[in-house]
């Protein structure tokens, strides 16, 4: 008797009882259920919700693995920088090393465990109370959350934020598929407003920078955007920014792996290429406008916005989290616009507003998560006007025909 039979037996034993959804979830996560529909006509397709979610997770795994190595690498690079040891990056020499991996894994794996553990616990509790099946919605959220937080965030804060995000961001609206806001970004927004000292500033982005602050071993934990915002010179090469050897949230640094993930999502038809492309377009347009302002000389070098405004428009795409947001966050099928025209507008405004907030936000030089949350709220409005516009167009056509 295999595991499947045992699970099925347990399930039958609890059938109709309160805990049934919990056992059912474990069973269907591993195997297809024993009872299937036999009669009637059905469209047979393999891409159910679980398959969709798993595809996104596969697209995220490279980012996670890179994030683990990068967490270690950034830590040792920062230590070397303090000790005036110059460091030349070589992928096999000092990036993919056991040293980096062990430190990174020690920091990042607990984030993943807490995110999944707490989030799924909340989902299970709600499924049992409401008496419905456990929904798969949290599988992707649980993976996204560790990738969009600073590496040193205390685990209990993450746990509190996950409870808040899942309950307020999702369950109060009726669970997966009914939420207005992206739950992963709700979690990040909660952390950002509740514990700003752990989510912004020049210490949190490199492992152990907070613990070392104020001591002789103090290391810098600043992101590139932070340096730009303070009008400092940035010496990081563009290739480092593109490949992702820079400090930042755990999984958002490697633009190369994000683009690979984006291609994978587009190829499997899980993610919307319209949203991804239009978000990038929006960011480019806003970046060009800021560059235009600088070129026209409307803003002097002493202005506090000068540093971020003078970044060439294309460089906005390879620093910060705009690409990660565009590929994995903005495309969330529940909270994005549903109509094709709406997707263009929705994505364009995300990119446009994200760069605008990035430049003008005095407290925090990044705005991708705020921009996406804002557009999440407006997505139904955009859809409404797109649909109404279409209705009007067709009515007009009808009139012309009948007249």
Q: Which residues bind another protein (CB under 8 A)?
A: 154, 156-157, 160, 168, 172, 190, 193-198
In angstroms, give the least distance from the CB of 191 to another protein.
9
Q: Where are the alpha helices (DSSP H) in 83-182?
A: 98-130, 138-147, 155-169
Phi–psi pair at 362, nearest 5 degrees:
-75, -25
In angstroms, give the least distance from the CB of 116 to another protein.
22
Helix (H) or strand (E) holding 195: none
Q: For another protein, give the closer residue by CB, 296 or 363.
A: 363
Q: For another protein, give the closer residue by CB, 198 or 243.
A: 198
In angstroms, give the least distance from the CB of 271 to another protein.
30
Q: For another protein, give the closer residue by CB, 189 or 257.
A: 189
In angstroms, give the least distance from the CB of 297 to another protein.
39
In angstroms, give the least distance from the CB of 293 to another protein.
32
Cα 130 to Cα 143: distance, rounded to the nearest angstrom: 25
Q: Where are the alpha helices (DSSP H) in 151-302?
A: 155-169, 183-194, 196-199, 209-212, 224-229, 238-243, 255-267, 273-295
Q: For another protein, give the closer residue by CB, 105 or 167.
A: 167
Would you say 27 and 20 are in contact if contact means Cβ atoms under 8 Å apart?
Answer: no
Q: For another protein, give the closer residue by CB, 98 or 193.
A: 193
In angstroms, give the least distance from the CB of 339 to another protein.
26
Structure tokens, 337? 């616009």
SS3 track for 100-124: HHHHHHHHHHHHHHHHHHHHHHHHH
Residue with tokens 């699970």: 7
In angstroms, give the least distance from the CB of 279 to another protein.
26
Would you say 66 and 101 are in contact if contact means Cβ atoms under 8 Å apart?
Answer: no
Q: For another protein, give the closer residue by CB, 192 or 290.
A: 192
Structure tokens, 109? 């794996």
Q: For another protein, give the closer residue by CB, 128 or 160.
A: 160
In angstroms, give the least distance from the CB of 194 to another protein.
4
Q: For another protein, give the closer residue by CB, 199 or 336.
A: 199
Strands, E, within 9-59: which ranges? Answer: none
Q: How far is CA 94 from CA 74, 87, 155, 207, 236, in A?
A: 11, 9, 28, 17, 17
Q: What is the DSSP letter of 91?
A: I
Cα of first residue to Cα of last residue in the chain, in angstroms, is 73
């Amino acid at each position: 008797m295999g595991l499947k039979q045992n699970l099925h037996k347990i399930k039958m034993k609890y059938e109709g009882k309160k805990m049934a959804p919990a056992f059912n979830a474990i069973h269907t996560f591993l195997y297809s259920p024993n009872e299937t529909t036999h009669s009637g006509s059905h469209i047979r397709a393999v891409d159910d919700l679980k398959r969709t979610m798993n595809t996104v997770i596969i697209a995220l795994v490279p980012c996670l693995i890179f994030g683990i190595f990068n967490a270690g690498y950034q830590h040792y690079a920062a230590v070397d920088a303090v000790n005036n040891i110059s460091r030349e990056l070589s992928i096999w020499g000092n990036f993919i090393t056991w040293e980096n991996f062990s430190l990174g894994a020690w920091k990042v794996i607990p984030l993943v465990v807490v995110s999944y553990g707490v989030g799924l616990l909340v989902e299970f509790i709600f499924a049992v109370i409401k008496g419905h099946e456990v929904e798969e919605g949290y599988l992707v959220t649980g993976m996204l959350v560790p990738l969009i937080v600073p590496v040193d965030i205390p685990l209990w804060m993450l746990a509190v934020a996950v409870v808040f995000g899942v309950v307020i961001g999702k369950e109060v609206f009726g669970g997966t598929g009914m939420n207005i806001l992206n739950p992963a970004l709700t979690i990040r927004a909660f952390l950002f407003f509740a514990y700003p000292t752990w989510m912004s500033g020049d210490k949190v982005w490199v492992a152990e920078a907070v613990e070392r602050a104020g001591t002789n071993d103090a290391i810098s934990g600043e992101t590139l955007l932070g340096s730009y915002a303070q009008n400092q010179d940035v010496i990081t090469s563009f290739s480092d920014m593109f490949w992702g050897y820079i400090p930042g949230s755990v999984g958002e640094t490697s633009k190369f792996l994000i683009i690979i993930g984006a291609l994978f999502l587009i190829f499997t038809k899980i993610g919307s290429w319209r949203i991804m492309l239009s978000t990038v377009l929006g960011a480019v347009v806003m970046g060009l406008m800021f560059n235009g302002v600088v070129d026209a000389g409307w803003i002097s070098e002493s202005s506090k916005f000068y540093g971020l405004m003078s970044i060439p428009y294309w460089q906005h795409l390879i620093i910060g989290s705009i690409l990660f947001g565009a590929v994995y966050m903005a495309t969330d099928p529940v909270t994005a616009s549903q109509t094709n025209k709406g997707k263009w507008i929705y994505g364009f405004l995300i990119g446009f507003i994200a760069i605008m907030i990035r430049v003008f936000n005095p407290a925090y030089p990044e705005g991708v998560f705020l921009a996406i949350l804002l557009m999440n709220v407006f997505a139904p409005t955009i859809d409404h006007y797109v649909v109404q516009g279409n209705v009007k167009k067709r009515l007009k056509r009808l009139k012309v025909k009948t007249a």
